Amino acid sequence: MVALGALLNNLFSQTTNWLNNQHRSDLSLPELCEQLLSNKGEVTGLSLARDILDQFEEQNSEGQKAFLTTLVTEFDLDTNELNVALKMYEADPDKASYSKLMTAVTSRRQTLFRKLNELPGATQRLVNMRKTLLELLPAHPELAVIDQDLKQLFTSWFNRGFLVLQPISWSSPAHILEKIIAYEAVHAIESWDDLRRRLQPADRRCFAFFHPAMPDEPLIFVEIALSKEIPGAIQAILADHNEADDGRPKTATFYSISNCQTGLAGISFGNSLIKTVVSELRREFESLEKFVTLSPLPVFADWLSSQTLTEPVSLEKDQYITDLAACYLVHAKTQSGAPFDPVARFHLGNGARIHALHANADMSENGKSRSHAVMVNYLYDLKKLEENHQKFAVDGVIACSGKVKDRADATLDLLPELKV
């Protein structure tokens, strides 16, 4: 089978090289795309797809922007065809008219992206194309329709049924470990020794989601500390430790969750990852009773600096800063009414509850500048997840412990803008 696979790969390579020598050297990217959309042959289609992706990646920023702009203007929906198809379906909603309508509501861009994705390895390259697109969007909002197409496709291609959960350990392949170091987004991994401290001890775990089309690229990963008690500071977790490990931990703490692929922004993996990992850990450790996070408040310091307090308080005092943080998590909202804190939105949306706040919990420069060194435990109570999720999703109810709620309410007098 290996020899046959090598033979077929060699045959494809020779065939596509021959085709490349016959034509297309002077064609523009839009012209290549038109050829791919009209092409019926599989080998020629794969060769065209490779040429398109190669040329796009070779372009400078201006060239890539020009091509993406062409995708907006020249590869959009055919509104005349759509109107005709809609009228046909309204008049006679049968299989044929429905099929014609579904074809008409699919932009030529989406069809192009699907054809490009038939090329082996193209999924990663399309994810990278969306990364480029997202970088351009703030200055070129007219490109947002392309993002809608790619996001719709990626939501389908990267749904939970296709994702593979893999444990990451100190013995994992070096190229995977290098990417864990590079993609860590919450607590930077400073060295290989730092990574070893997170992966090698018996009371540490790490899991990542992979996709079969991108087997060497983690999509998202979570780092976990196993212990008896709920931790209140990240320093102890990240440091060398000699905690006695009897193999019967009671608490699993998710202390870092990192999305790896910028081009998959907005495609939700975290909810599935946490719930899948909880199931894995429960199978391994029957002793586990609590599943919590130790999470940052990444925009708390910026938010607090924008507030006018009714009386001066010392932010250096533990009680004041955790009370203000409690009030922020429970009462600060976006214009749409969602919690202001993005990490809170994620965990509360998963059905977790705010359990406890800790001062001096992240004394790194990043932790002090962004969170005033405060961290929060979100508790995943498996019996209450669905109830908490429903109340949050439907009514905006924030699940939190009585102690956090009392502290949040008592601090409202200091933050008059939250009482409006």
Clarify whether 369 is annotated catalytic: no
Clarify whether 295 is annotated catalytic: yes
Residue ranges of the alpha helices (H) in 59-210? 61-74, 79-91, 95-104, 108-116, 122-136, 144-157, 174-183, 192-199
- The letter for the amino acid at 18 is W
Structure token digits, residue 412: 């409202």
3-class SS string, 270-330 = HHHHHHHHHHHHHHHCCCCCEEEECEECCCHHHHHHCCCCCCCCCCCCHHHHHHHHHHHHH
Distance, C-alpha 199 to centroid of its chain: 22
> Cβ distance 327 to 267 under 8 Å?
no
> What's the Cα-to-Cα distance from 61 to each of 67, 133, 135, 310, 418, rounded to whole Å?
10, 10, 10, 49, 43
Catalytic residue among 295, 355, 371, 372: 295
SS3 (DSSP) at 335: coil
> What's the Cα-to-Cα distance from 370 to each of 116, 136, 202, 299, rounded to whole Å?
41, 27, 31, 6
Secondary element (H or E) of residue 212: none
Selection from 111, 106, 108, 80 nearest residue 88 by Cα: 80
Catalytic residue among 211, 331, 347, 355: 347
If 0-12 CB within 10 Å is exposed, 13-18 middle and 19+ buried, where does residue 329 land? buried
Structure token digits, residue 333: 């909202």
> Cβ distance 182 to 221 under 8 Å?
no
- The rounded distance, in Å, linking the Cα atoms of 181 and 184 is 6
Q: Which residues are annotated as catalytic?
A: 295, 347
